Amino acid sequence: MKFAVVLLAVVLLAGCAADPPAAAPPPADTHGDFVLPADAYAFTLPETGRIDLARELLAGKCMRRLGYAFDPDQARQQIAAGNAHTVTDLGWYGNKRRYGVTDPAIAARYGYHLVNRNLGGTSPAPGFGALTPAMRTALTGTCTREAVTALSPDGVVGEADVVAALGSGSFRDALHDPAVTAAFARWSACMLESGHHYASPAVAGTDFDIDSPHITPAETAAASADVVCKQRTHVLDVWHGFEATDQNGQIARHRTAFAAARSGHDVEMRRVDAVLAAEL
């Protein structure tokens, strides 16, 4: 789960430019995440946390100028804690639950629930206490706009549309690929052996309330069987393999668009780093 962005219809720009700039290699510990080609052009969840912090610090400075109290240290602590929880649950790139539950230990203990059920774990406005109506208006209007503009002059912060479309498109297309659907059928037959009726792993666990604080034995049993069947049928190799191949093909066909996305990512992160260095 990367930035919550509105996925607009994207016209991919074909081109024959040089290869897009190389991204930093994945860290040694990706927190059990799956890595896809799109991730080289996207924001990692730790980067998203830094963007959130920079935006909050800039907005907080604006709020102070308007006469409202803001605690930057509290904002740092809240955002850091929330981001740590998010990375634990969703991985370095946000793909850890892309294919459902895959870790047998997590399935046995938490079922289909996230480990950190209150994902993010921060208040809606880190660094502030309770917001009065006037404070909320100033924060969500004037000060947030000012912060976003400082980070991105065009007023758009986060993942490029072409990158978001790549990730959502390959996932959607995988659900209709014959090799993937055949793997789903094998997984479904495996699940049926233990009494669980799911057409595919994409819908596994949807009959449980993962927002409830209670995790039932039925849920952990289903999730554990889900993981076992994924391993037995190699469905993850097929599913992830399709997406990786599909994304690589799209990137190769639209090099100019992805080079621009990577460049935009790097420019935005330099602005974020400058804000954080100035506000420390």
Partner residues linked to 15 by β-bridges: 254
pLDDT tens sequence across 142-179: 999 999 999 988 878 888 999 999 999 999 999 999 99
CA 105 to chain centre: 22
pLDDT in the model for residue 130: 86
Region for residue 197 given its phi and psi (left: phi exceeds 0; alpha: psi -120 to 50; beta: otherwise)? beta
Residues of the chain with pLDDT under 70: 1-31, 117-124, 280
pLDDT in the model for residue 117: 66
pLDDT in the model for residue 9: 30
Stated pTM of the model: 0.83
Distance CA 174, CA 196 (A): 23
37 in Cβ contact with 169 (< 8 Å): no
Which contacts qualify for 15-19: CB closer than 8 Å, 24 or more apart? 15/254, 15/255, 15/256, 15/257, 16/255, 16/256, 17/255, 17/256, 17/259, 18/255, 18/259, 19/255, 19/259
pLDDT in the model for residue 29: 56
Q: Around Cβ 151, how many Cβ atoms within 10 Å? A: 20
Helices 144-151 and 255-279, packing angle to 10 deg: 120
